[in-house]
Amino acid sequence: VQLQASGGGLVQAGGSLKLSCAASGRTLSPNIMGWFRQAPGKEREFVAYFSRNTGRTSSADPVKGRFAISRDNAENTVYLQMNNLKPEDTAIYYCAAGNSYARVARAYDYWGQGTQVTVSS
């Protein structure tokens, strides 16, 4: 499975961005597609995931109410709508795919290349 992420950029605090991640390479994409982020000097952290099979979603507490994950199963694409962005959201955002309902990076089998999100104050 190959994952191609896009949509990052520079935005002012309070602004919005929408990230996209398209999966290709297999007839059936993994059940779970999600997002992680990694800020300089910090560990990679969970942001959100979406289950193709059940529609179940999960989001990390720091982004609840501001970020929304959605998925287009027909296009094997997952989106992350990010609203009310804060400087602390600045990070490289990675899309990931796997088959476990997990919030830890090691549970995911496939990773995209990352897209930079920078929020200025």
- pLDDT tens column, 32-74: 999 999 999 999 999 999 998 999 999 999 999 999 999 987 8
Amino acid identity at 53: N
Beta partners for 82?
17, 67
Cα–Cα distance, 82 to 71 (Å, whole number): 14
Q: What is the pLDDT of residue 27?
A: 66
Q: Which letter does DSSP use for residue 71 in this model?
A: E
Q: Which letter does DSSP use for residue 54 in this model?
A: T
Stretch 27-35: mean pLDDT: 86
Q: What is the pLDDT of residue 25?
A: 86
